[in-house]
Amino acid sequence: MKLFIDTGIVEEIRKAADWGIIDGVTTNPTLIAKSGRSQRDVITEISEIVDGPISAEVIATDSDGMIKEAQELATIHKNVIIKVPMTEDGIRACKWMSKNNIKTNVTLVFSGNQALLAAKAGATFVSPFIGRLDDIGHDGMDLIEEIRTIFDNYGYTTEIIAASVRHPTHVRDAALLGADVSTVPFNVLKKLFNHTMTDKGIAAFLSDYEKSSK
Ligand code: E4P
């Protein structure tokens, strides 16, 4: 499974990229706002750090406006992926972009039918929001499983990004269910490294080594 980092904070991307396990980056208007910088500046800097898909979201809500923004964002770098919302206009814009060689990520996906429409419109990626489904009492992982089945039934090549990831269990479960990608906030990425038994094991090895070297 590919691991993307879900942030607009360039310092976090730099640190995670340094670990050598980051395949791409996702941003959204909320994450860019948290950075306090312009979207163009943030995406430009990210493209100098990570050589992989970088999602940048449009603000327009009409398909013509989305396409105009997409054409501008696509000039930043060849790795820029245009994130469009799962609406009628978003799907229309996605179809146009897929015909015009602009890669897309259909976001705010909360049902198998929405994912099916995105795949039919030629989306490169689809982003089901698992954490936000958990928040309203659903099981977000059911949606990952549903979309995996639908795409596999018909051979759609649209990649599934498990998004709205809140904890390490989400990452493990997305991998078990066959999501193509998990996009993970920096604080959750850091937790993926940890296990108390690893810490205990290292402490025991070091203490045994010190005893034997005396
Ligand atoms: C990623 O593409 C999404 O924008 C992001 O994962 C949303 O996460 P949230 O539900 O924690 O805001």
Residue located nearest, by CA, to atom 10 of ligand 1? 164
Q: What is the DSSP letter of 36?
A: T
Cβ-count burial of 79 within 10 angstroms (0-12 exposed, 13-18 middle, 19+ buried)? middle
Task: Determine the pLDDT at residue 213.
Answer: 86
Half-sphere exposure of 41 (CA within 13 A, CB side): 8
For ligand 1, the distance from its centroid to the CA atom of residue 157, given in whole angstroms, is 22
Does residue 214 carry a pLDDT above 90?
A: no
Number of neighbours of residue 196 by Cβ within 10 angstroms: 7
Looking at the CA of residue 83, tell me the nearest atom of ligand 1: 2
Of 1, 2, 8, nearest to 186 (Cα)? 8
pTM (predicted TM-score): 0.97
Phi first, then psi: give them for residue 103, nearest 5 degrees: -80, 145
pLDDT tens digits, one per residue of 47-73: 999 999 999 999 999 999 999 999 999
Helix axes 39-49, 63-73, angle to 10 degrees: 50
Cβ atoms 89, 67 nearer than 8 A? no
Looking at the CA of residue 131, tell me the nearest atom of ligand 1: 10
Provide the token pair at 201: 């094991």
| Structural domain boundaries in the chain | 2-212
For ligand 1, the distance from its centroid to the CA atom of residue 185, given in whole angstroms, is 9
Provide the pLDDT confidence category of residue 212 given band limits of 50, 70 and 90. very high
pLDDT tens digits, one per residue of 66-103: 999 999 999 999 999 999 999 999 999 999 999 999 99
pLDDT tens digits, one per residue of 94-123: 999 999 999 999 999 999 999 999 999 999
For ligand 1, the distance from its centroid to the CA atom of residue 177, given in whole angstroms, is 19
For ligand 1, the distance from its centroid to the CA atom of residue 107, given in whole angstroms, is 9
Provide the token pair at 158: 């649209």
Provide the token pair at 11: 């310092």
Candidate from 25, 27, 28, 170 with most ligand 1 atoms within 8 A of CB, to mutate = 28
Continuous segment of H or E residues that includes residue 29: helix 29-35
Taking residues 202-207, report their average pLDDT: 98
The CATH number assigned to the domain with range 2-212 reads 3.20.20.70
Q: Which residues line ligand 1 (CB under 6 A)?
A: 6, 26, 28, 107, 127, 129, 131-132, 163-164, 183
Over the Cα atoms of the chain, what is R_g? 19
Candidate from 54, 164, 182 with most ligand 1 atoms within 8 A of CB, to mutate = 164
